[in-house]
Structure 1
Amino acid sequence: MQLTIKASGENADAISYLLAKNPNNLYERMHNGHLVRMFYTACTQEKLDVTFFVTPDSIELSRNRSEIYDITSYINDREFAVSSIFCTLLRTSLGTALNGKPKEEYQKWVDHQFAFQFEFGPLASDLSDEQIKNLFEPLGYSVSVTYGSNDYRFSMTKQSAARSITLEGFVTLQNGLRQLFVLIPVLDNYKHYFIDEKEVEKITRYGEGWLDKHPERNFIFERGLRFKEMIRLVENTTSSSEELPPVSTSIRLNDQRYEKIIQVIQSLEAHQHIVDFGSGEGKLSVQLGFVEGVKEILAVEPSQRSILQARHRFEKASAEEGFLLPTSITGSLFYYDERFMKKDVMILCEVIEHIDEHRLPKVMDTILHHYQPRTLIVTTPNADYNSVYNLGKDYRHDDHRFEWSRDEFTQWCDTQNHQNNYQLAFNGIGTKHDEYGTPTQMCIFTRKEQ
């Protein structure tokens, strides 16, 4: 994967200071096993030519880092084509230029427009050449798209599907790079990491001054953020006059889930002892720590990486008055642990859809008939609502094994309660659609008096 930056005209050599890279040195850095290499072929007062190569370790991507790079375990073109992986690996090397923070004596060049040529590839995209041009031409670039040629000894195809993109225009280095870092993942239509509010913040920051005015703004958001909860958060943090469909609330869906779960817990007579299964980075558990009357919170998570992040979040909250420190436990729903017996509340917040359907009955049998909590709270996406997101047959997250309609979820919950020890109550979370309901569905299992 390659990005070449060329510039011509007076003071072109100033760009090397904006990049914070010495033209006399070969730059090589390893980032989590992946090699980023940079070298200049020209750096004079009138001309600059610098190339960045990214050589990912495909084995590292597909095996050792599967919990970070959510991609197939088999080799494919994603490791070798420009994508969000490419941008992530390159971002560290271009941090000074992206942030516009060179040494003070070179700060004056941050807002200076140069005659740039950006060339990147290979690109494997489902977009047509015309659609690619529609993304870059409104920014003032002339765009050329070239295809590689194949020289096979047998008949296969005369032209490679991979493309190389060249952009030419007057722009500041910072804006040019930020535009690439927003639009390359749009071209690829894939992100190897979970899309959350941090991604919204990054896109709005990198898009400042140009993205709101872009005629393909909505398309960029749809491809870059994938889900309308994320798009709506952008709408609340920008001042564009070109509005997306209005919504009745500015609260993110994830926060609405946590708020609803906490409301349910506060309404329960018994909520002193709580188990948060699949607690992840501890975002819900840390809020539970401020609920009055709670005496114990067990944050159960199999990922050590997430546990470390959760502990850091817990430590920060510990400085606040009235906070009960959750206990982090490395655990799994598939292994019995007597520490979870007879608790007041158990929570499965957006957990079950990450488990293969055929394994779920064992999980629920362990919870309902062995752990026997007084209350079990389960939330999961409502597949009916995916029509509002125009997802087609796609799931909301690449790691989801299924997404159920409201009828399917109701039937499944009834089936799990086969011993009839619990009363079931169903509810919805998020903005309600007249036909498709709410984006998240909830079932509250309440143990009957024995």
Structure 2
Amino acid sequence: MFMSISTTGTAESPATDLGFLLHKHPGKVQRFGTSHGEAHVFYPEAGDELCTAALLLDIDPIALVRRGRGKGRGGSPDFALAQYVNDRPYAVSSLLAVALRTVFRSAMKGVCEARPGLAERPRPLRIALPAVPANGSGEGGGPAMVARLFEPLGWQVEAVAIPLDEEFPEWGESRYVRVELSCAAVRLADALQQLYVLLPVLDGAKHYWVAPDEVDKLLAAGEGWLADHPERALIARRYLSRRWSLTRTAMERLELARLAEADDREVEEIDNAVDDTDGSEPGAAHPAGAEPAEPAGPTEETAPGAAPKQPPLAEQRRTAILAALREVGAARVADLGCGQGELIGALLKDARITEVLGVDVSARALAAAARKLRLERMPERQAARVKLVQGALTYTDARLKGFDAAVLCEVIEHLDVPRLPALEYAVLGAARPSAVVVTTPNAEYNVRWESLPAGHVRHADHRFEWDRAQFRAWAERVARTYGYTVVIRPVGPEDPEVGPPTQLALFRVGTPAEPTVPTAGSTVSTDPEAAGGGTVAAGTTAPARTTPEGGEPR
């Protein structure tokens, strides 16, 4: 089993710096013991312009057999003589990946004490792997799989299938591929980490039992690149030997990392865009730092004798949510998409609420919530009532089970429409609290924001905004699907033409539905197939009303 790593150099950075990076002297042949044989490191060429380091792994087939086989072991063909006739001593596999970690441990960590800073400097690399098994097992193997795995990481891939027998080409191609990877600028540590993960993925098997700690190894080696890889599901599945429970855990943690890292905005912008302070127009509709325009119509300043000014819309939402929770008698509440904890603070003021779980995908938002709630200074009995955890609402989570009520306050519009069914199942299907409170903007009311362009959504992060008929159709479909009843209520001042600025759905298990009255001007069918048709991408000028082409989010 053999691989080589080559780099070119300049007068300022000679190629022989590779020896410092690998912590292996170019003038020596070094030998290392492994659990299944010996590893040899040597340099076929070592000059200022070109330097090549080779790793030769000499596998002892007897030692491999003596260690036994089980699920996730060996990876050799499953036939009677497999322990005597197999490719493990020759084909690149998890054996080489483990040898990389053993022999080049410091290089994989990006440590170079002899030349501080050298490990952080990208340099040209070329990696040669003469015989790589790339068995697709129905997932598209061969050279195409090599390209799918390495090209998104910036590698130029030369992959050629090796024939079963060069003298008899009509026999076809084998499952082995000759691979050369090249990159103009990459950190050696990154390259080794990627090889450590992707070589077993190509092989599709491991020589040792795949235990739960393999998830931690995968995520540690994949830090910084795996969460955004387009084939991350394939990588996790094959790296973990198709053990579904481990794969699911890995994907949940990768999703958390991807969503949290993608959100590089200020914490104040993460809070689901629900904390507008003046009840008028959300901040996304006007330039940063500008004062939002007041809604059209009479105001305290323009209409003599007008009613007192309404409290901020965010406060009205919280008041409506608290009223719904009191109505259902909820004592244990999960705030899903809690942001900076505004609702949690209000919940803790109610002595009837004995436990609050705040969940958000953003670690920054949770840290801001902890500061805002002053958890560190909170009395012990009060602090015991609240817990903040990181989680993705599109995945089932055992921590969400057993609550009297769950709240999705201005959350659903931040999800892409195709992901809504996953959230529906995770919350109402799997967690299944006794009650669920959902609030979301009413798209019809947007015309009352004078400075909001027609067809625009209220916040740049909103993936869609529904009118009253669309929201009702969605809520009724979800209630039927998961065995809930639902009532729709207005939140905020109700305009006779376009309704309230916010709409609330209260889902309850095992209670008769309250009579509902069609909203003014709503002629759209409440059939679930109509829900979701009025989605509007953030920043577009598409109409917010239902169109004939619209369909249910799936």
Measured in 1, the distance between the counterparts of 2:182 and 2:59 equals 27
Question: 1:224-283 deviations in whole A, cap 9, x for unaligned?
Answer: 1222322333323641139796122269xxxxxxxxxxxxxxxxxxxxxxxxxxxxxxxx
| CA distance in 2 between partners of 1:207 and 1:199 (Å) | 12
- Is residue 94 from structure 1 mapped to residue 96 from structure 2 by the alignment? no
Deviations 1:86-134 (A, max 9, x none): 212332111111122232x423011111111011131122113222201
Asked if 2 retains the 8 angstrom alpha-carbon contact of 1:218 and 1:244, the reply is: no
Aligned length in residues: 251
Aligned to 2:53, the other structure's residue is in SS state: strand
Relative to the length of structure 2, the TM-score reads 0.42
Indicate how the Cα distance of structure 1 residues 54 and 247 shifts in structure 2: closer, same or farther if over 3 A, else same: same
2:157 aligned with 1:143: yes
Q: Name the CA shift for 1:245/1:37 in 2 (closer, same or farther; >3 Å).
A: farther
Gaps of 5+ in 2: 75-81, 136-140, 263-391, 401-481, 483-554
Q: Which amino acid aligns with 1:236?
A: R
Report whether the alignment pairs 1:110 with 2:119.
yes
Q: How does 1:262-301 map to 2 (within 5 A)?
A: none
**Does residue 236 of the first structure (1) align with residue 253 of the second (2)?**
yes
Letter of the 1:90 counterpart: L
How far the C-alpha of 1:48 sits from its partner, in A, is 1.3
SS in 1 for 2:171: coil
Q: 1:159 to 1:217 in 2, by over 3 A?
A: closer
Cα distance in 2 for residues equivalent to 1:6 and 1:201: 30
Equivalent residue for 1:389? Answer: none
Note the alpha carbon deviations across 1:323-377, whole angstroms, 9 max, x for none.
xxxxxxxxxxxxxxxxxxxxxxxxxxxxxxxxxxxxxxxxxxxxxxxxxxxxxxx
Compute the displacement of 1:188 (Å): 0.6
State the shift of 1:38 in Å: 1.5
Q: For residue 3 of structure 2, what is the aligned residue in structure 1?
A: 3
Letter in 2 for 1:27: Q
Q: 1:24 & 1:249 partners in 2: Cα distance?
A: 56
In structure 1, how many angstroms separate the alpha carbons of the residues matched to 2:178 and 2:205?
18
What SS does structure 2 have at the residue aligned with 1:210? coil
- In the other structure, the counterpart of 1:247 is 396
Q: 1:39, CA displacement in angstroms?
A: 1.1
TM-score, length-scaled by structure 1: 0.51
Label 1:179 to 1:151 Cα distance change in 2 as closer, same or farther (>3 A). Answer: closer
Residue 209 of structure 1: aligned partner: 224
CA separation of 1:244/1:124 partners in 2, compared to 1, >3 Å: closer, same or farther? Answer: farther
Matches of 1:109 and 1:154, distance apart in 2: 48
- CA distance in structure 2 between the partners assigned to 1:197 and 1:207 by the alignment: 16
Structure 2 CA distance, aligned partners of 1:158 and 1:204? 37
* Contact 1:146-1:165 within 8 A present in 2 as well: yes
Superposition deviation, residue 21 in structure 1: 0.2
Higher alpha-carbon deviation: 216-225 or 69-78? 69-78
Cα distance in 2 for partners of 1:147, 1:232 equals 32
Q: Secondary structure at the match of 1:240?
A: helix
SS across alignment from 1:45:
coil
SS in 2 for 1:110: helix
Within 2, Cα distance between the matches of 1:245 and 1:60?
45
- How big is each residue's C-alpha offset from its partner over 1:13-48, in whole Å with a ceiling of 9 and x where there is no partner? 222111000011011223235121121122233321
Determine if the alignment matches structure 1 residue 19 to structure 2 residue 22. yes
Counterpart of 2:176 in structure 1 is 162
Aligned to 1:78: 88
1:69/1:132 CA distance change after superposition, 3 Å? closer
CA RMSD of aligned residues (A): 2.8
Once the two structures are superposed, residues 285-342 of structure 1 have per-residue CA deviations (whole angstroms, 9 ceiling, x without a partner) of xxxxxxxxxxxxxxxxxxxxxxxxxxxxxxxxxxxxxxxxxxxxxxxxxxxxxxxxxx
Q: Displacement of 1:70 after TM fit?
A: 3.2
Match of 1:134 in 2: 148
User: Is residue 147–residue 161 contact of structure 1 (8 Å, CA) maintained in 2?
Assistant: yes
Tell me: CA distance 1:27–1:61, structure 2 relative to 1, closer, same or farther (3 Å). same
Q: Which residue of 2 aligns with 1:227?
A: 243
State the identity %: 29
Residues 52-100 of structure 1: CA distance to partner in whole angstroms, max 9, x if unpaired? Answer: 1111011211135558983353321233211112212332111111122
Q: 1:228 to 1:240 in 2, by over 3 A?
A: farther
8 A Cα contact 1:143 1:165, kept in partner: yes
Structure 1 residue 2, shift from structure 2 partner: 1.1
Q: Residue 121 in 1 paired to residue 121 in 2? A: no
Alignment of 1:37-56 (within 5 A): 37-56=40-59
State the one-letter code of the partner of 2:84: Y
Match of 1:188, as an amino acid?
D
Unaligned runs of 5+ in 1: 252-433, 435-450
Of residues 149, 158, 174, the one that matches 2:189 is 174
CA gap 1:218/1:68 in 2 versus in 1, 3 angstroms: closer
